[in-house]
Structure 1
Amino acid sequence: MIQKIWFTLVWSFIKLGLYFYSNKITVLGRKNIPKRGAVLFAVNHPNGLIDPLFVTTTNSRQNHFLVRAASFKNPTIKKILESLYLMPIYRIRDGIKQLSNNQEIFEKCYKILDKGETLMIFPEGSHDKKRSIRPLSKGFTRIVFGALEKHKDLEIKVVPVGITYQHPSDFPTKVTINYGKPIGTREIFETNSGAKSINILKAKVSEQLEKLSVHITDDSNYETTLQKLTDAQVDFTKVDEVNKMIQSESIPNSKNAKTNFVKPLLYLIILNSIIPFFIWKIVRNKIDEIEFIDTFRFALNWFLCTFFYCLQAYIVSLFYGNTIGLFYLTISAFIVLLYSKLAPTNAKKHKEFNEFGKQV
């Protein structure tokens, strides 16, 4: 019970933070989420640890997560992650000896699904900013079919989830979370051999993911197609519309990006958040993977800005009274919200960053 209360508090805090961080969050197919019973959410993975945050805060099911084991190296962070229902999954790159630890994790997953709860996994196996659905690993099928074999009366619905960003690593972010149709797994498991069951389930999930997110075939024409879409300033979060452009090869002509008329607000935000801003700039220089820009920017600035705005409001209240302190805190939050909702979210190549990032 205590863990659920803790999870709900953190979930609510993160959901509020994502609202401030995002220009627009579009959720499609929410009706496809089963209200009860075992569910495995199979999600594409373009943008680091912020991906599961968007998924878990846009559905009412309490999720358990499988994330890469490297995130659990620090003992303190390990305890925090475990308290939020995160579990490590080991890959070959973590060392062959570590792979044996996965069996214990799989057993935990079987119990979670048998209790009619939900599990979130990223079957591509790693994050990648490319606008393509990559080949899926069979790890998630092993969990599903392992649970079905162990619990004969269990049915597990696999729900593919597509995430598409207007531009990964940009602020404010604009994203679409698209829930696909549930895939029943008991019939696949019982009417096919093991290898065939795996291939069928992987194919069904891949097929949906390619429609639920913007998918450009990763071939020799990938960069050309992406460049044309970027030059046309398409709204990538309009997934169906963009996928039709790609499939019909009917991409609009180039157009100019929208001018950011509210940029002065950004400088005001930086001035009011000067300590968090400099801390972020230091941390930013240590981030090697572009896919983690959004994750660290959101987490660091949401927690730091919340703390420093409250601290600054307290200091203001000491000199000018509680009413002025509360007014300062309200205006500070309102300016951030105003900028995030009004700033243009232009289509950009992945190498470009705005003022809160760094060009690479």
Structure 2
Amino acid sequence: MIVIKYLWYYSFWTIVRIGLRLYYSKIKVTGLENIPKKTPIIFGSNHENAFIDALLITTSNTCFDHYLVRAGVFKNPMAKAFFNSLNLMPVYRAQDGVNPLEANKQIFRACFEALAKKYAVMLFPEGEHNIRRHRRVLKKGITRIALGAVNFEGGTKELSVVPVGVNYSDHTGFRSTVHIVFGKPIVVKQQEENAKNYNQLTAQITEAMSKVHVSLDRKEYLGLDAIFFHDQDAHQLVDYEKINAAAKKLEGRSAEVKAIEEQKTALESAGLSFPFRPMSTRHAFTLFALAPFALIGLLINLPVLLPVYLFIKLKVKEIEFVASLKFGFSLLGFGIWWWHLASWASEYTGQWYLGIIGVAFSFVTLISLNGFIRKWKRFRLTQLLASDEILQSKYNAFVDEIAQIRAELF
């Protein structure tokens, strides 16, 4: 039975890993050497992007991971069976209408047993997902599991908590980049389960996690986000260490940060949207050169693109779910659609390799469509600036002020 479970898990792991490498233009993984080989592991990660956070982390290492996810996704019996087959376990919160401490006892015990077998457990100790790149107060679930596991009868006597940071250049965009960082492990040994040890370990994990992802100050987030990300390129990897070090230098300069926030808010009210950087004439020519390939990409892939677009537009209320649903539907939808395209091309031409060429062409034109949409947005906003001298003046002042601040920080 365990052999079948391993085969299913790693088969799915391989499919998702390949899919993610196609969905993102670049996935950079650092710190794999920090994952212990001989002790059980708890991965504790920031949580900015719903399910795709877990998919990115688990396909970036080869551990047999078990996951804690919010109980709400287990309501459908088919979904529950599927999630259970992939080692997902529900974690309950007060809003689930139950006493979370009582409801989670059985789940915590399952974690203790998994760790006793030297499997890995992954969870998001912030207890929420939010695309904002700021520090959050951790829930104590991760410390309860860690200390409970090392005191569990017949369990492990030592484990490692590995902080994980997931840094997105664009939380919702296709062919953007992501940087996954595995930080230095925190070794947890047998100790009494009391408030003092809970608090100490929680503080340790909080500090360790803040070092592996962009963790801006929550109170000044909007201004800091404008300073560091108003012109973020979706294809450029986020340098979390550089940004965190620069943000620390801005402590005590609240008035400047607030002024930047107010300028950005005023620009957004006038019609601009961020991240944004004006388009040059050269890039405008690239836009129009992409147009025919983008049109072909739209027509070829419309049977998948249209239902995904409509579902997200009409049904999805939280932006944090956009990337997860785009990826999930695309992995299934394009897998089926491109299989049919390849079969038709091979059948009608009698040449199997033409089917593969057809799928590759469809993917390339899909990337062209995505590039066209991104550039079209820049072109439209650049034209808006060019047509409004007052708005152009305000935008220039905004950019110049940020440039002066950045010159001091970097």
Q: Work out whether the TM-score is over 0.5.
A: yes
Asked if residue 271 in structure 1 is aligned to residue 299 in structure 2, the reply is yes
Give 3-state SS (helix, strand or coil) of 1:185's partner.
strand
Over residues 137-196 of structure 1, what are the superposed CA-to-partner deviations in whole Å (9 max), with x where a residue is unaligned? 00111111111111475201000101111121122231111111110111xx52x66111
Shift of 1:336: 4.5
For residues 229-266 of structure 1, the C-alpha deviation after alignment (integer angstroms, 9 at most, x for no partner) is 22353756111112122122399x99835658475444
Task: Confirm or deny that 1:14 pairs with 2:16.
Answer: yes
Residue 281 (str. 1) matches residue 309 (str. 2)? yes
**Counterpart of 1:309?**
338
CA contact (8 A) 2:29 2:60 kept: yes
Note the residue ranges of structure 1 that are not aligned, 5 or more in a row: 353-360
Aligned to 2:248: 247
Select the residue among 92, 102, 118 that pairs with 2:120.
118
2:42–2:120 contact (8 Å) kept in structure 1: yes
Structure 2 residue 325 is matched with structure 1 residue 325: no
Q: 1:33 to 1:329 in 2, by over 3 A?
A: same
Distance 1:138 1:321, change over 3 A: same
Q: In the alignment, is the contact (CA less than 8 A) between 1:124 and 1:136 conserved in 2?
A: yes
Map of 1:182-193 to 2, 5 A cutoff?
A: 182-186=185-189, 189-190=190-191
Aligned residues: 342
1:85-96 to 2 correspondence within 5 Å? 85-96=87-98
Cα distance in 2 between the residues matched to 1:309 and 1:233: 32
- For residues 194 and 267 of structure 1, the distance between their equivalents in structure 2, rounded to whole angstroms, comes to 62
Summarize the Cα distance change of 1:11–1:227 in structure 2 as closer, same or farther, 3 Å threshold: same
Return closer, same or farther for 1:177/1:343 CA change in 2, 3 Å cut-off.
farther
- Give 1:160's match in structure 2, choosing from 142, 163, 166: 163
Does the 8 A contact of 2:165 with 2:212 survive in 1? yes
Identity %: 30
Q: Deviations over 1:285-341 (max 9, x none)?
A: 20111000000000101210111011122122232223332321233244456888x
Judge which range, 203-212 or 229-238, deviates more.
Answer: 229-238
Distance in 1, Cα, partners of 2:339 & 2:162: 40
- SS of the residue corresponding to residue 213 of structure 1 reads coil
Matched, 1:291 2:320: yes
For CA contacts below 8 A with separation 6 or more, give which structure has more relative contact order.
Answer: 1
- Consecutive unaligned residues of structure 2, counting only runs of 5 or more, are 261-274, 382-410
Q: What is the correspondence of 1:344-355 to structure 2 with a 5 Å cutoff? A: none
Q: Is 1:203 aligned to 2:232, yes or no?
A: no
Give 3-state SS (helix, strand or coil) of 2:112's partner. Answer: helix
| Segment drifting more, 291-300 vs 171-180 | 171-180
Give the SS at the match of 1:96. Answer: coil
In the alignment, is residue 256 of structure 1 matched against residue 277 of structure 2? Answer: yes
Partner of 1:172: 175
Pick which of 322-331 and 201-210 moved more.
322-331
Runs of 4 or more consecutive aligned structure 1 residues displaced over 4 Å after TM superposition: 257-260, 334-340, 342-346
C-alpha contact (below 8 Å) 1:174/1:345 kept by paired residues: no
Q: Is the 8 A contact 1:92 1:99 kept in 2?
A: no
- State how far apart, in whole Å, the 2-side matches of 1:154 and 1:337 are: 50
Q: Which moved more, 1:242-251 or 1:117-126?
A: 242-251
Q: Establish whether residue 100 from structure 1 lines up as the match of residue 102 from structure 2.
A: yes
Counterparts of 2:70 and 2:332, CA distance in 1 = 23
Q: In the superposition, relative to structure 1, how do residues 103 and 298 fare at CA in structure 2: closer, same or farther (>3 Å)?
A: same
Deviation at 1:74, TM superposition (A): 1.0
For 1:280, the aligned partner's letter is: V
Residue 402 (structure 2) aligns with: none
| Matched-pair contact (CA < 8 Å) for 1:23–1:343 | no
- Superposition pairs for residues 44-83 of structure 1, below 5 Å? 44-83=46-85
CA offsets per residue over residues 170-229 of structure 1, 9 Å max, x none? 22231111111110111xx52x6611111111111111211110111011x221111122
Q: Which residue pairs with 1:30 in the alignment?
A: 32
If the length of structure 1 is used for normalisation, what is the TM-score?
Answer: 0.87
Structure 1 CA distance for aligned equivalents of residues 7 and 215 of structure 2: 38
Query: Which structure has the larger Rg over C-alpha atoms?
Result: 2
- Over aligned residue pairs, what C-alpha RMSD do you find? 2.8
Distance 1:214 1:339 in 2: 30
CA distance in 1, matches of 2:193, 2:5: 40
Which structure: greater helix fraction? 2
Paired with 2:348 and 2:372, the residues of 1 have a C-alpha distance of: 34
SS of the residue 1:3 aligns to: helix
Which secondary structure does the structure 1 equivalent of 2:66 belong to? Answer: strand
- Kindly indicate whether the alpha-carbon contact (under 8 Å) linking 1:172 and 1:345 is maintained by their aligned counterparts in 2: no
Query: Does the CA contact (< 8 Å) of 2:112 and 2:148 recur in 1?
Result: yes
Task: Call closer, same or farther: CA 1:145–1:311 in 2, change over 3 Å.
Answer: same
Partners of 1:185 and 1:345 lie apart in 2 by 46
After superposition, give the CA deviation of every residue in 1:56-85 in whole Å (9 maximum; x if it has no partner).
011121211010111111111111111111
The one-letter code of the counterpart of 1:133 is: R
